[in-house]
Structure 1
Amino acid sequence: MQEFLKVFQNKNFRKLFFAGFTSMMGSIIGVTAFMFYLLDKFGEQPFYATLAELMYSLPTLAVFFLVGVLADRMDRQKIALYCDWICAGLCLLLMGAIWLDWMPLIFVILFLRSAVGKFFHPADQAMVQGVLSKEEYAIAAGLNQMVGSLFMLFGNMIAIFIYWSVGIQGAIAFDLLTYVLSALFIMSMKVNEDVRLPNGQHTFKDIRVKMVWKDFVSGFVYIKQSKLLLSLIFGFFLFGIVNGGLSVMPAFIMKYKLAPDNYEQMMMWMGILFGVSILSGSVLCSMLAKKIRLSYAIVLGLFVSGVSLSFCALAPNVWSFFILTGLAGFSIPLINIGIGGWLPKIVDPKMMGRVQGWISPINMLSHTMTLGLIAVLFPKVLTVEMLFWVVGGCLIVVGLFYMLTLPKYDLDEEENNKELQLEKVPG
């Protein structure tokens, strides 16, 4: 707990943390409420709900070659700030499109808002490296995991409550407010130039096709030179399949199998249970982050969550489904904190944007492919049980791969640390 308090004493990190929190809230609450809106309006056509989720993931494939380059070449603080303001403006346009009830325009605006939002995370994460020390990265990863836990805990509940109270327009207005708050946090930060511009001053005139391509390729070359990075990124591809499936599977199994008459209420309770389990796991894993090997934490989390989600397909009722998802939620922080604490340690701060620029599209490519297949094949070909088996199986496969590859990197890191300590000992 003292370590958490110490990190929060850093004003820049505190503001960056709350900026990320509110910006993430803006991108999640409205999307969740919109999915329920579409399930109500097009109950017999789950295709529309899946398409809405696609509008959240598909834009990554349109902007991935720019995201990392801009985060490394341009002012990271301004990128995050402009993302928030533009997303706030698009929220206003989205409210108008919903009022007109023009579905093509609604999906176009959702696509644009998501595309702009993709530039926020690489700039945000790259600045974290500049405001914290290496020893604090795992703590920051734990805090970020807790943020995700809070969204799991309150996200569905807030989205459903706002949707019930003031409709979809109210949910989008809530999004707008969160983006404005995030922008204000970013504006108030005082960040050194070497953190904002680690590769020197550049203008948009400098960002030409040749330079973008060169930087994008340099990110690939940098990743290829690190076997550990390559191993982690293979996992991100399969994580995309998992995230794509989980974005719609709980709502589908509630509406079409376990609780068709009150699926919204059950989704709200599931969100609370899942959030509590992830929050509990986050607190425990954050305390253990410096006491256990990161590779062991990641592999254990993958196996437990994979097996739990696979058995969700066999759940005979809502309560058994809740127990299994709760177990999965408790183990997921082991994965996120392990990987989140490892990446900043092994990536050069000058290359973080370009590395993130490769991780995000690889993750979102599989995420988008999964949602596309679900949109086309569910429920005619794929059953909801099959979806859970695929997602659980992917986690188990990644767990087996990491079990064979990651422990040796943990041992290498320990040996390097021992050598450094011996060099510091006066001879």
Structure 2
Amino acid sequence: MRTLFRNPMFNKLFIAAFASQLGTVVGNMAFAYYLIDRYSERPALATTAELMYSLPTLAVFWIVGVVADRFDRKHIAAYSDWIRAGLTLLLLVFVHFNVLVACFLVLFLRSSISKFFGPAEMGLLQGSIDQEQYVQASGLNQMVMGLFMLFGMSLGAMAYHFIGIEGAIIIDGVSFLLSGLLLAWGDFPEHARIPNGKNRIRELRFSLLLKDFWQGLRYITGNRLLMVLISGFLFFGIVNGVFAVLPIFAMKYKLSPDNYVVNSSLITVFLGVGFLLGSIFGPWLIRRFTRTPILIGGLFISSLLITGLGLTERIEVYFFLVLLAGIAIAPINIALGSWMPELVPPQNMGRVNALIEPVMMLGHSLALGGIALAFPALISVTWLHYILGFCTIAVSLFYMAALPPLVRKRMVNVTAEGTVAEGENA
């Protein structure tokens, strides 16, 4: 861990990603509170704002990875922050004059631009640290995610309460500016910034974008291990979709109807604490047992805990099981997050990383659509937990059947390639 923070490039990336995420979380949560507070008789506005954050994934996913692989990733990530800072200034103006339609348009554009940040930042990270440090870096990212789970809602609420929606939006803009400056000042190696050589924007054609996009798809389908891992993200999307509403539903319709607001917020706190604890132990577990058993075992344990959530009738037991579920889930995310840079060469990292989110979004949308149609007429809160547990154990069994032979085959190939290289050097 100390070695990572001795790397100035990693420091800038880590702080820049943290600042960028901070701006997104504070602004989005404060805007949600603003809509609920000022337009309490129109709850659909808060749902519309949520759509403005999620729909851009489906609009731009086919281009963001191609751009990250063809152009300077440092500039892409920095300009993504700076353009969002400019759009945040527009949002401030529209909020001040209460032009809601324009606010939603800016939110959509800002979310669209944010999708370019992730693949570019991941590519820079891959090329700026050693392969042995991928697990540690992924563990740190999970710790940051745990912190935002713990304090994200509270930060947005505090910003809105003490400095108002306009002050929260200003914090947004300053965070994006700081993140962009840190990336612009970073002295990243050329192979991390432009792994496919220099390209000019005027050379970019729609046909070339489609060609690169299909090339990324063919690369994924041609790598069976990578294909199996990414296929699991469809189920993770379903899990995320169900869990997006499950805490509120569990408290409102089963465990705590009178205090569901407070108790559903506490679920996020316990889950965040679990993520932090799991992120601390996750890298050690992966080094001790390797990624495959951690993925399979973590998913299996999570499925049992989630099923247990459906069986419990006491709030205290529910909170405790959520804490344990967070501890079990964090090493799963670390294993996946550190495995991708190892499997994907730098020249394809942007395209592969950009295709993961739409796969998850498909599962997320299917889950929310199914819940909207079936709950509470056809399925209860208890059965929502059972379905979630079934999806989790299905991924565990899928990985148990598919991953071990593919990992062994990859190890044999890597060993053979290493032997050939040593023979050529001799």
Q: Which residue of 1 aligns with 2:395?
A: 398
RMSD, matched Cα? 2.8
Ranges in structure 1 where 5+ consecutive residues have no aligned partner = none
The within-5 A match list for 1:203-218 is 203-218=200-215
Q: Which residue of 1 aligns with 2:29?
A: 32
Query: Which has the larger displacement, 137-146 or 375-384?
Result: 375-384
Q: Which residue of 2 aligns with 1:193?
A: 190
Change (3 A) 1:45 1:293: farther
Q: Which residue of 2 aligns with 1:149?
A: 146
Q: Which residue of 2 aligns with 1:61?
A: 58
For 1:199, give the aligned amino acid. N
Q: 1:293 aligns with which of 269, 290, 294?
A: 290
Ranges in structure 2 where 5+ consecutive residues have no aligned partner = none
Conserved? CA contact 2:82–2:176, under 8 Å: yes
For 1:155, give the aligned amino acid. G
Conserved? CA contact 1:80–1:124, under 8 Å: yes
For 1:281, give the aligned amino acid. G
Report the identity percentage: 42
Deviations along 1:126-176, one digit per CA (max 9) or x if unpaired, are 111111121111221111111111112222232233233334444333322
Any idea what SS the aligned residue of 2:307 has? helix
Query: Which has the larger displacement, 378-387 or 389-398?
Result: 378-387
Change (3 A) 1:375 1:188: farther
Deviations along 1:269-305, one digit per CA (max 9) or x if unpaired, are 3333222211111110112222212111011221222
Q: Which residue of 2 aligns with 1:179?
A: 176
Q: 1:269 aligns with which of 266, 289, 292?
A: 266
Count of aligned pairs between the two proteins: 424
Q: 2:102 aligns with which of 105, 118, 128?
A: 105
For 1:154, give the aligned amino acid. F
* TM-superposed deviation, 1:41: 5.9
Query: Which has the larger displacement, 235-244 or 254-263?
Result: 254-263
For 1:26, give the aligned amino acid. G
For 1:7, give the aligned amino acid. L
Q: 2:357 aligns with which of 344, 355, 360?
A: 360
Change (3 A) 1:165 1:251: farther
Q: Which residue of 1 aligns with 2:304?
A: 307
Query: Which has the larger displacement, 62-71 or 260-269?
Result: 260-269
Q: Is 1:316 the counterpart of 2:313 in the alignment?
A: yes
Query: Which has the larger displacement, 353-362 or 302-311?
Result: 302-311
How far, CA to CA, are the matches of 1:398 and 1:131 in structure 2? Answer: 32
How far, CA to CA, are the matches of 2:92 and 2:168 in structure 1? Answer: 10
* TM-superposed deviation, 1:319: 2.1
* TM-superposed deviation, 1:45: 7.1
Q: Which residue of 2 aligns with 1:222?
A: 219
* TM-superposed deviation, 1:370: 3.5
Any idea what SS the aligned residue of 1:247 has? helix
How far, CA to CA, are the matches of 2:300 and 2:104 in structure 1? Answer: 37
Q: Is 1:92 the counterpart of 2:89 in the alignment?
A: yes
Deviations along 1:230-257, one digit per CA (max 9) or x if unpaired, are 1011111121222233334324444565
Change (3 A) 1:23 1:388: farther
* TM-superposed deviation, 1:388: 3.6
How far, CA to CA, are the matches of 2:314 and 2:101 in structure 1? Answer: 37
Normalising by the residue count of structure 1, what TM-score does the alignment of the two structures yield? 0.89
* TM-superposed deviation, 1:421: 6.9
Query: Which has the larger displacement, 189-198 or 246-255?
Result: 246-255
Change (3 A) 1:25 1:236: same
Change (3 A) 1:379 1:75: farther
Q: Which residue of 2 aligns with 1:22?
A: 19
Conserved? CA contact 2:239–2:388, under 8 Å: yes
